[in-house]
């Protein structure tokens, strides 16, 4: 699963799985039952699987049963399912504990999978009907969220969906490996799991389920006085819709709440929070900083709040549009202009928050997506309106919000208005250092360092920074705390609005919307303006709304962070420290984080390392970390070699074969570390698999395999490897097509562009083959592949060329423009092409951007540095200092953090530290080695580089 929040529960410093936490009471009581005799049991980080061993194999796919239950009913439901299924030999699985249930039913959780506590696997439709009938009686009284992907059986907690039983995979339209089922012709197709029930076209709904489908379709919006015009936002708690009141013509916002879904850390569901928001808005009636309350009604089991529509833009969007360092070049005047706007905006936001406090309300969820900037119709000036009051509290209660954005979520010692004061302080920094305050829970004193960087970058008055740091660090003087707010402890007045109609039990609600609007529509948060395509290096939030703030970390708290309160001040910082100090400090952090006693991973990294085999991989596992250490000139621990070698001898089932995600990359690193025999043994395992069916991608597919086989074939003299490499070249050539045989956008349902997943990977393979054969046809193929990726790029407002995803532009190494630029530079070194040379200049412009939200190699600043080190800076750069490299090295300071006497960096989403190659400290170490070490270090699988003298310490003043 790909929900970072779940992997924050086990450890305060690193992403981790719950089984490693050792926290008592995290799992349900049923997990402590002995495994029945004749049964197999397999635990994972989220699920507990049970299946009888003496029964014939289950079919590969069919109608499965899901049991939904709220947390309070979960133990009872699980006991009933166990007691029913075990004696009857029925395979099942269930979520292992309440923390997992809450996270998978939280506001930010996937709508397609939310609500599923138990999955049961009937052998045929006859048993499907019998199990549903009997369990329906046994589970009477159990309630839970409606499973949107399924059909409900009766009015209880049972649901059904057709899907895979066995774990099989195929490639999606975007070239990604996804779960699969067989269609009517026996072909593997994606096992689609949408937030709406559907029957695959090759099968039919069992007849006994027809009445249940009819009941589901019986509830409609006919008769409501509101016509939906647009989807503004979907969360697991419900949708937000732009609508028109058909009685008055007024445009309004409908906010939906699903029962038992969208849980917060206090266990409240979306319905409870929506009713609370209704009451808060009633209390704030007439306040310019809050939308006016219009109505509240029920439809089926869902509740709807009707609010005034505010025709404005979220502050987050204004930030993305205006932040000067997202552009290739900006001057002092633009920086000063932005600073003036930001300071004026902060004053308006502060006045809006103060006006809430005067009514005795603590907003509780202050962040740029909940702040709308609109224009006052009378004065023409910008006005601030705060939206989303579902976690607001009364100042006199001294309570804390149970949902919050992690970049603005106050630590546990703040209550009442202090929660808003902390968020406001983070906003004062965050408008100048976007998303960086997400890192503060990892080390609170990072705030002071951020303040210094902001002061050095923007002409911000020192009083603004000092006030923010004081509030964040907790020494703001007299705290109003629970006593804040003029309304004190006055209870909420009863709302004059109540449910307009009784709930229709047992039904789900589908809101009809115009064609073209889906759950993937941009999050507009109350605005009718479409999200503009924006620079991926911009201050876009990498974090979902609705992070379950306040849920206890089972492994404890990071508090001041490892290394103590003074660790930040003693840290070697990129841009201030020389290469050897930076290298050694990152090496210390990586070594301190190693866990050789674990079986699944050696070094903590991204959540992707918990997929089968990824803990060994180059991108996310031990191989990539050891590779980075070796390339940077640091010693590697022989015990860590042994860890990798032992697991490479017996790869985990389901391990990928790719270079960055799987076993080919592991073999490459084993050979790099001197373990030739282990590398060849592992390659033998890889070549016995059906590798020819893989996608062309560098990270996961044929181009990465071909390059690795070509390299190791030459290095070892093993001709079988070379022959296999040539076969990979031939297959990629056969599948390539022409320059226009790809869509003009990347990702979504389309194949992705870029170095790791796009046509640039095959282009790199063709170039390597050309170097060995001098065949000009291979250069032709490389040019075609590069043009395919360039077709999926578009120019940003600053003239830079970036990968176009339709709703944003990406500059990054993995799926962005600099990755394409690295390969294009290799191509132009072999063949002159003025047209493509001009495109390379436009791709290079991205490296002039001053800010990137994340520091990592694949999707952050380190990737920009590594691309420059790999030749993106141009063929005439030579060995003299490069101001682009200097700027990017200094920029790493924004994300530098201490860890146990060393220097570390946060991973993707910035919520936890990472030591891996793709997202974390090892990748930053490697990137700096390409430009600072004086060693011939380049990205893996690129042609060898010549050493450069250590003539310049990038980032230091000279």
Checking if the pLDDT of 545 tops 80, the result is no
Q: What does the pLDDT read at residue 945? A: 58
Average pLDDT over residues 549-576: 69
Provide the b/e sequence for 6-25 (b: ≥16 CB within 10 Å): bbbbbbbbbbbbbebbebee
Return d(Cα 691, Cα 662) in angstroms, integer.
12
Average pLDDT over residues 258-279: 93
Checking if the pLDDT of 495 tops 70, the result is no
Choose between 381 and 710: higher pLDDT: 710
Of 108-122, 269-283, 560-574, 854-868, where does mean pLDDT reach its minimum? Answer: 560-574
CATH number at 6-217: 3.30.2430
Average pLDDT over residues 102-109: 85
The catalytic residue among 365, 369, 678, 882 is: 365
Q: What does the pLDDT read at residue 714? A: 96
- Distance (Å) of CA 279 to CA 216, 355, 492: 31, 17, 7
Of 302-306, 494-498, 882-886, where does mean pLDDT reach its minimum? Answer: 494-498
Average pLDDT over residues 670-680: 98
Checking if the pLDDT of 749 tops 90, the result is no
**Local structure of residue 823 (DSSP, 8 states):** H
Checking if the pLDDT of 331 tops 70, the result is yes
Helix axes 921-932, 579-593, angle to 10 degrees: 160
Q: What does the pLDDT read at residue 555? A: 55
* Top-ranked range on mean pLDDT: pick from 158-172, 415-429, 931-945: 415-429
Contacts of 57 (CB under 8 A, 6+ apart): none
Average pLDDT over residues 255-275: 92
Choose between 537 and 298: higher pLDDT: 298
**Cβ pair 645, 688 in contact under 8 A:** no
Q: What does the pLDDT read at residue 554? A: 56
- What the block records as the tokens of 675 is 């373990």
- Tell me how crowded residue 122 is: count the other CB atoms within 10 A of its CB: 22
Checking if the pLDDT of 885 tops 90, the result is yes
Q: How confident is the model at residue 266 (pLDDT cuts 50, 70, 90)?
A: confident
In percent, the amount of the chain with pLDDT more than 90 equals 74
**Cβ pair 916, 609 in contact under 8 A:** yes
- What the block records as the tokens of 444 is 């609170």
Checking if the pLDDT of 480 tops 60, the result is no
- Tell me how crowded residue 167 is: count the other CB atoms within 10 A of its CB: 12
Q: What does the pLDDT read at residue 130? A: 98
Checking if the pLDDT of 490 tops 60, the result is no
Return d(Cα 380, Cα 306) in angstroms, integer.
27
Q: What is the mean pLDDT of the chain?
A: 88
Checking if the pLDDT of 153 tops 60, the result is yes
Choose between 474 and 955: higher pLDDT: 474
Q: Which residues pair with 305 in a beta bridge?
A: 255, 296
**Cβ pair 628, 905 in contact under 8 A:** no
**Cβ pair 658, 940 in contact under 8 A:** no
Q: What does the pLDDT read at residue 958? A: 32
Nearest-CA neighbor of 30 among 81, 78, 67? Answer: 78
- What the block records as the tokens of 248 is 């008055």
Checking if the pLDDT of 518 tops 70, the result is no
Phi, psi values for residue 158, rounded to 5°: -100, 140
Provide the CB-side half-sphere exposure for 9 (13 A, CA): 27
Phi, psi values for residue 945, rounded to 5°: -100, 160
Residue 598 — left, alpha, or beta (φ > 0 → left; ψ -120 to 50 → alpha)? beta
Return d(Cα 934, Cα 947) in angstroms, integer.
6
In percent, the amount of the chain with pLDDT more than 70 equals 87
Sheet holding 313-314, edge to edge: 313-314, 371-375, 382-386
Return d(Cα 80, Cα 358) in angstroms, integer.
51
Checking if the pLDDT of 814 tops 90, the result is yes
Domain 315-483 grouped into CATH 3.40.640.10: no
Average pLDDT over residues 427-437: 97
Of 351-365, 510-524, 923-937, where does mean pLDDT reach its minimum? Answer: 510-524
Q: What does the pLDDT read at residue 551? A: 53
Q: What does the pLDDT read at residue 519? A: 32
Checking if the pLDDT of 880 tops 80, the result is no
Q: What is the sign of the dihedral through the CA atoms of 75, 80, 84 and 90? A: negative
Return d(Cα 273, Cα 278) in angstroms, integer.
9
- Distance (Å) of CA 705 to CA 662, 696, 820, 919: 10, 9, 19, 22
Checking if the pLDDT of 475 tops 80, the result is no
**Cβ pair 741, 735 in contact under 8 A:** no
pLDDT digits (tens, 9 = 90+) for 649-674: 999 988 999 999 999 999 999 999 99
Phi, psi values for residue 95, rounded to 5°: -65, 140
Average pLDDT over residues 44-62: 91
Q: Note if 365 is an active site residue.
A: yes
Average pLDDT over residues 687-697: 93
Return d(Cα 773, Cα 139) in angstroms, integer.
69
Q: What is the DSSP code string of 114-180?
A: TT--EEE--SSHHHHHHHHHHHHHHTTT------TTSEEETTTTEEEEEEESS--EEE-TTS-EEEE
Nearest-CA neighbor of 946 among 844, 857, 881, 870? Answer: 870
Average pLDDT over residues 336-349: 98
Q: How confident is the model at residue 502 (pLDDT cuts 50, 70, 90)?
A: very low
- What the block records as the tokens of 201 is 């076209």
pLDDT digits (tens, 9 = 90+) for 276-300: 999 999 999 999 999 999 999 999 8
Choose between 723 and 22: higher pLDDT: 723
Sheet holding 793-795, edge to edge: 793-795, 801-804, 809-810
Residue pointed to by tokens 């674990």: 598
């Amino acid at each position: 699963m790909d929900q970072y929040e779940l992997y924050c529960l086990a450890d305060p410093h690193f992403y981790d799985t719950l089984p490693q936490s050792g926290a008592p009471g995290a799992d349900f009581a049923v997990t402590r039952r002995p495994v029945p005799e004749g049964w197999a049991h397999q635990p994972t980080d989220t699920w507990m699987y049970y299946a009888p061993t003496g029964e014939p194999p289950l079919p590969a796919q069919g109608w499965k049963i899901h049991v939904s239950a709220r947390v309070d009913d979960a133990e009872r439901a699980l006991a009933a399912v166990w007691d029913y299924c075990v004696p009857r030999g029925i395979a099942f699985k269930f979520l292992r504990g309440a923390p997992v249930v809450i996270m998978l039913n939280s506001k930010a959780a996937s709508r397609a999978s939310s609500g599923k506590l138990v999955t049961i696997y009937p052998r045929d439709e006859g048993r499907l009907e019998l199990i549903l009938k009997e369990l329906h009686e046994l589970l009477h009284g159990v309630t839970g969220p409606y499973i949107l992907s399924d059909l409900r059986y009766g009015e209880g907690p049972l649901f059904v969906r057709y899907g895979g039983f066995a774990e099989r995979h195929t490639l999606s339209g975007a070239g990604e490996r996804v779960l699969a089922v067989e269609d009517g012709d026996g072909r593997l197709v994606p096992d689609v799991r949408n937030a709406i029930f559907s029957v695959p076209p090759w099968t039919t709904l069992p007849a006994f389920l027809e009445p249940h489908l009819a009941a589901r379709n019986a509830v409609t919006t006919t008769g409501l006085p509101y016509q939906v015009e647009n989807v503004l936002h979907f969360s697991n708690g419900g949708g937000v819709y732009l609508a028109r009141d058909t009685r008055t013509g007024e445009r309004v916002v409908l906010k939906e709440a699903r029962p038992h879904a969208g849980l917060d850390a206090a266990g409240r569901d979306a319905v409870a929070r929506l009713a609370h928001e209704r009451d808060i808005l009633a209390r704030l009636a007439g306040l310019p900083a809050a939308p006016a309350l219009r109505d509240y009604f029920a439809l089926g089991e869902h509740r709807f709040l009707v609010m005034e529509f505010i025709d404005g833009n979220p502050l987050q969007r204004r930030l993305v549009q205006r932040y000067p360092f997202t552009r290739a070049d900006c001057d002092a005047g633009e920086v000063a202009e932005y600073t003036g706007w930001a300071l004026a905006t902060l004053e308006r936001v502060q006045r809006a928050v103060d006006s809430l406090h005067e009514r005795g309300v603590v907003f509780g969820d202050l962040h740029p997506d909940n702040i709308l900037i609109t224009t006052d119709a009378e004065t023409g000036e910008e006005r601030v309106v705060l939206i989303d009051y579902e976690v607001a509290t009364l100042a006199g209660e001294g309570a804390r919000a149970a949902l919050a954005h992690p970049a603005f979520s106050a630590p546990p010692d703040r209550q009442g208005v202090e929660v808003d004061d902390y968020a406001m302080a983070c906003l004062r920094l965050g408008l100048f250092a976007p998303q960086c305050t997400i890192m503060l829970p990892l080390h609170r004193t990072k705030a002071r360092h951020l303040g210094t960087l902001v002061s050095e970058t923007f002409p911000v008055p020192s009083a603004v920074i000092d006030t923010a740091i004081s509030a964040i660090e907790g020494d703001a003087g007299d705290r109003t705390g629970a006593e804040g707010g003029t309304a004190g402890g006055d209870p909420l007045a009863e709302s004059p609005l109540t449910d307009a109609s009784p709930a229709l039990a047992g039904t789900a609600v589908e809101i009809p919307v115009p064609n073209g609007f889906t759950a993937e529509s941009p999050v507009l948060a109350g605005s009718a303006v479409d999200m503009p395509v924006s620079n991926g290096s911009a201050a876009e939030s990498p974090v979902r709304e609705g992070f379950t703030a306040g849920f206890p970390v089972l492994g404890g708290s990071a508090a001041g962070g490892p290394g103590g309160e003074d660790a930040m001040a003693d840290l070697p910082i990129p841009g201030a420290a020389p290469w050897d100090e930076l290298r050694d400090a990152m090496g210390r952090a990586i070594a301190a984080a190693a866990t050789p006693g674990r079986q699944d991973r050696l070094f903590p990294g991204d959540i992707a390392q918990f997929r089968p085999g990824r803990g060994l991989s180059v991108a996310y596992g031990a191989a990539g970390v050891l590779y980075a250490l070796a390339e940077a000139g640091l010693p590697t621990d022989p015990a860590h070699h042994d860890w990798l070698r032992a697991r490479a001898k017996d790869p985990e089932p389901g391990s990928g074969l790719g270079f960055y995600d799987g076993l080919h990359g592991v073999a490459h690193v084993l050979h790099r570390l001197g373990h030739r025999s282990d590398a060849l043994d592992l390659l033998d395992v890889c070549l016995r698999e059906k590798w020819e069916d893989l996608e062309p991608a560098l990270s996961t597919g044929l181009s990465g395999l071909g390059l690795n086989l070509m390299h190791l074939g030459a290095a070892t003299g093993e001709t079988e490897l070379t022959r296999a490499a040539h076969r990979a070249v031939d297959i990629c050539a056969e599948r390539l097509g022409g320059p226009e045989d790809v869509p003009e956008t990347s990702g979504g349902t389309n194949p992705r562009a870029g170095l790791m997943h796009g046509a640039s990977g095959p282009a790199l393979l063709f170039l390597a083959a050309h170097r060995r054969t001098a065949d000009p046809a291979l250069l032709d193929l490389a040019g075609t592949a590069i043009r395919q990726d360039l077709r999926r790029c578009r120019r940003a407002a600053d003239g830079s060329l970036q990968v176009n995803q339709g709703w944003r532009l990406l500059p990054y190494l993995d799926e962005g423009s600099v990755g394409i630029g690295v390969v294009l530079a290799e191509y132009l070194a072999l063949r002159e092409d003025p047209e493509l040379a001009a495109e390379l200049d436009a791709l290079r412009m991205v490296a002039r951007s001053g800010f990137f939200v994340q520091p990592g190699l694949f999707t952050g600043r380190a990737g920009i540095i590594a691309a420059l080190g790999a030749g993106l800076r141009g063929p005439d750069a030579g060995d003299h200092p490069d101001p682009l490299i200097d700027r990017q090295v200094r920029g790493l300071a924004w994300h530098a953090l201490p860890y146990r006497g060393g220097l570390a960096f946060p991973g993707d989403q910035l919520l936890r530290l990472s030591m891996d190659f793709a997202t974390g400290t090892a990748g930053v170490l490697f990137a700096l080695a390409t430009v600072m070490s004086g060693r011939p270090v380049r990205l893996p699988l690129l042609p060898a580089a010549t050493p450069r003298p250590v003539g310049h310490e990038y980032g230091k003043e000279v």
